Amino acid sequence: MATTTANTVEARPRVGGDKNDARRLRRSGLVPAVLYGAGQAPVTVSVDPKQITRILNSESGHNTIFDVSVDGTPAKAMIVDWQYEPIKGSLLHVDLKRIAMDKALRLKVPIMTVGEAPGVKTQGGILDQVLREVEIECLPEDIPTHIDVDISELVFGMNIRVSDLPKNEKVKYLTEANVMVVHVTSVKEEVAPAPEAAAADAAAGPAEPEVIKKGKQETEGAAPEKPAEKKGK
């Protein structure tokens, strides 16, 4: 259950915070970061992007709790935000939060399905997982890497909701209990119009508004009005 790792991220204090400073830092092989939380003042630091990427790619991902060391002073921390360069995909910036191991955290963890649903295997349906993450509250050492949900009895007409997720006295679900997690749905085919009908509609062009059309018919179908004769005096 615990996500604490033996990895230590070395964070170096840095000065300057404009874009030019950040570019020079990245060219040197580091990325800018901010460390805050636990009632302490925020500190601007630089970190090794390889260490951060390794944590993000681990099983527990950004929910991993690790040691961060600033000038030799260690602290427990988590990655709470990060930015990638959109074209090259390189790491641009990281936000780190100090963690108090004796205080509960609120966070989201992924939901993983386990087993094979009869509604898919024997009834020809499609598994539709509506909820991919669930919000929980627990102590840092009790953070699960994911929540398993058993779908081995899921058939048409049944669904699994947050209230059906496995119970754990150390983990409290914060997502509303009635929210659907997964169900089996059927394949719906869209009925396309017949080629002849589509061609006829295209040739006819846009229809005129009904009021205007009626006005034209009355004008074209009626005989022209004769000018009124003037009566002599």
Q: What is the pLDDT of residue 224?
A: 45
CATH architecture of 105-185: Beta Complex (2.170)
Convert the pLDDT of each residue in 158-215 to its tens digit: 999 999 999 999 999 999 999 999 999 987 644 455 555 555 555 555 554 444 434 4
pLDDT over 90 (residue 222): no
Query: In the chain, where are the structural domains located?
Result: 4-98, 105-185
pLDDT over 60 (residue 233): no
Secondary element (H or E) of residue 22: helix 19-27
pLDDT over 50 (residue 126): yes
Taking the model in full, what pTM does it have? 0.70
4-98 and 105-185: same fold? no
Cα 32 from Cα 44, distance rounded (Å): 7
Q: What is the pLDDT of residue 9?
A: 92
Q: What is the dihedral of CA 22, 25, 26, 28, to 10 degrees?
A: 160
Contacts 24+ apart (CB under 8 A), 108-111: 108/133, 108/134, 108/135, 108/136, 109/63, 109/133, 109/134, 109/136, 109/143, 109/144, 109/145, 109/146, 109/147, 110/146, 110/147, 111/146, 111/147, 111/149, 111/165, 111/181, 111/182
The residue written with tokens 């034209």 in the block is 216
Convert the pLDDT of each residue in 43-83 to its tens digit: 999 999 999 999 999 999 999 999 999 988 889 999 999 99
- Please compute the mean of the pLDDT values over residues 143-148 and round it to a whole number: 96
- Please compute the mean of the pLDDT values over residues 5-12 and round it to a whole number: 78
**CATH superfamily to which 4-98 belongs:** Ribosomal Protein L25; Chain P (2.40.240.10)
Sheet holding 159-161, edge to edge: 126-129, 180-185, 159-161
Convert the pLDDT of each residue in 79-107 to its tens digit: 999 999 999 889 999 999 999 999 999 99
Q: What is the pLDDT of residue 216?
A: 38
pLDDT over 90 (residue 4): no
Report the chain's mean pLDDT, rounded to a whole number. 83
Convert the pLDDT of each residue in 9-48 to its tens digit: 999 998 766 788 888 999 999 999 999 998 888 999 999 9
pLDDT over 70 (residue 218): no
